[in-house]
Structure 1
Amino acid sequence: MRDGARRRSILFLRLAALGVAVAAIGFGKTFFYPLVTGTFRADPMVYVHGIFLFGWVGFFLSQSVLIHKKRLRLHKQIGWAGAFIAAGVVLTTLYVAVLASRRSAAGGSPAANGELLVIMIEMLVFGALITAAIQLRRKPEAHKRLMLLALIASLGPAWFRFRHYFPEVSNPLFFYSVLIADSLIAVGAIADYLREKRVHPIYIFVGGGMFLVHLVEVFAFDTAAFQVLADLIAGPLI
């Protein structure tokens, strides 16, 4: 492996390890600790969702390790497992989101439809990234960056739960789920520039588009137009 390629593999390996840590810490107070202490109770699909979500993060880490160790054949052989896991993430996330939104609506929350719409948009983005990565699997420079963006997209909920550790942070949705979570896009772009004096178009256009979607979700959420759209799309599911 050339020095430049090896440095890139180390970057992806470190970001993958960071993703595992963020998922573990983010869901530590609301899932892992209650699960270990026997105080966690939820619909069975929530457990399935957890398996798929953490399975996806673990899968990305394992694939990054294989690339770093130059086990390219094995990396390709188990690659299709990622498609199955990603599909599980999307389906179980939507199922669990509908359950949560129904509880919110039953409790009188006016934001239930909007919250569900946000999750639907996030799963659309995640699914599109995975689909594009599969289609471009024979173009490794694009493929791996799309997979990294999919990892970043999947970590938003985990980052948001950092508010349980630092409740004093104002506007935690913007700070954790957008500013901190999407900063990893900038890390990849900066690494590109430092190594190659250019930024790959995937980071510029796809990563930039993902960041804009997140900004719109945060700042349009309380607008009348977003609520109308949420009632139209998410309302029938609740």
Structure 2
Amino acid sequence: MTTLTDDRRTSAAAIAAARYFYFHMALACAAVAFLGFAPTYWLPLAQRSFSATPVIHAHGVLFFAWSLFFVLQSWLAASGRIVSHRDIGMIGVSLATAMTIMGFLVSVNVMKRSAAVGQTDAGIAFSIVPLSGIAFFAVVFALAVANARRPETHKRLMLLAGISILDAAVARWFLTFLAPPGPPGPPPVAVTIAPAFVAYLLLVVAIVHDWRARGKPHPVYVVGGLVLVAIKLLNWPVSTTAAWHTFAGGIFALAQ
């Protein structure tokens, strides 16, 4: 009898842990986002030594608001408040839409700032990083909304979307503590790969969790993860092509 009771308690604890896994992952994403931007945004902002255009500040507000909203939605789902989770879902849609627009504007801002210091080509090349990143986020988020009534798919797509935008936060630590001093302007596209793969370790955690719980990773992680990695690896060679410079350069010309 004691063994049976212990087994039931263990089973209940395991179920509870599985239910709150995505909440804990959302917390981890938020922590990476906030800590990542601490040395280059939050601390300088608190010290009143940070100067940026309104576009950058609006971008920061939206993306950090998303991090908090993601945590809230994950908690509501984990605690069984599904009705509340769905009732405020349109807030997430509005945030994601605004983030997509702002991500595009920030990409244009990168090109403008680079041109101002005489590095137009470097800015056009680097713009592939934010543009491809926000495009991936937007597509995966849209798929998550389309699969809202398929919770196993929906929550994994939401987590994939959340992880996909963390490379910029991790990159700030690389730039702050590892990057050698250099001229003003965007960094080479190649240096964005390592921070991205550090951020993607959270996806590895999710895959391992699936493997233990389901015996295999969910297709969202397999297909979505492979696409995410492929995009990041292809950013570097594609950014050097004439086709990319024509495409992004055209966007830059229209924004002038």
Q: Structure 1 length normalisation: TM-score? A: 0.89
Q: Which one of the candidate residues 183, 200, 215 is aligned to 2:218?
A: 200
Identity %: 29
| Contact 1:20 1:58 (C-alpha < 8 Å) held by counterparts | yes
Gaps of 5+ in 1: none
- Give distance in 1, aligned partners of 2:98 and 2:12: 36
- Give distance in 2, aligned partners of 1:218 and 1:60: 30
Gaps of 5+ in 2: 1-10, 181-189
Q: Which one of the candidate residues 34, 59, 81 is aligned to 2:69?
A: 59
Equivalent residue for 2:122?
111
Letter in 2 for 1:140: P
| Contact 2:77 2:85 (C-alpha < 8 Å) held by counterparts | yes
The structure number with the bigger radius of gyration is 2
Query: Aligned runs of 1:88-103 on 2, under 5 Å?
Result: 88-103=98-113
Number of paired residues?
237
Letter in 1 for 2:33: A
- Give distance in 2, aligned partners of 1:95 and 1:227: 17
Q: Which one of the candidate residues 156, 174, 179 is aligned to 1:145?
A: 156
- Give distance in 1, aligned partners of 2:77 and 2:210: 18
Deviating more after overlay: 49-58 vs 106-115: 106-115
Equivalent residue for 2:25?
15
Equivalent residue for 2:231?
213
Pair 1:172–1:121, CA change in 2 (3 A): closer
Deviating more after overlay: 76-85 vs 217-226: 217-226
- Give distance in 2, aligned partners of 1:195 and 1:230: 43
Letter in 2 for 1:176: P
Equivalent residue for 1:158?
169
Q: Structure 2 length normalisation: TM-score? A: 0.83
Deviations 1:160-192 (A, max 9, x none): 1111443169x6422112x11222222211211
Pair 1:211–1:4, CA change in 2 (3 A): farther
| Contact 2:112 2:252 (C-alpha < 8 Å) held by counterparts | no
| Contact 2:111 2:252 (C-alpha < 8 Å) held by counterparts | no
Indicate the SS of the match to 2:20: helix
- Give distance in 2, aligned partners of 1:4 and 1:132: 29
Pair 1:197–1:165, CA change in 2 (3 A): same
Displacement of 1:9:
3.1
Letter in 1 for 2:151: P
| Contact 1:13 1:68 (C-alpha < 8 Å) held by counterparts | yes
- Give distance in 1, aligned partners of 2:102 and 2:47: 24
Displacement of 1:197:
0.6
- Give distance in 2, aligned partners of 1:122 and 1:233: 17
Indicate the SS of the match to 2:23: helix
- Give distance in 2, aligned partners of 1:224 and 1:142: 38
Deviating more after overlay: 75-84 vs 37-46: 37-46
Indicate the SS of the match to 1:111: helix
- Give distance in 1, aligned partners of 2:179 and 2:51: 28
Letter in 1 for 2:164: A
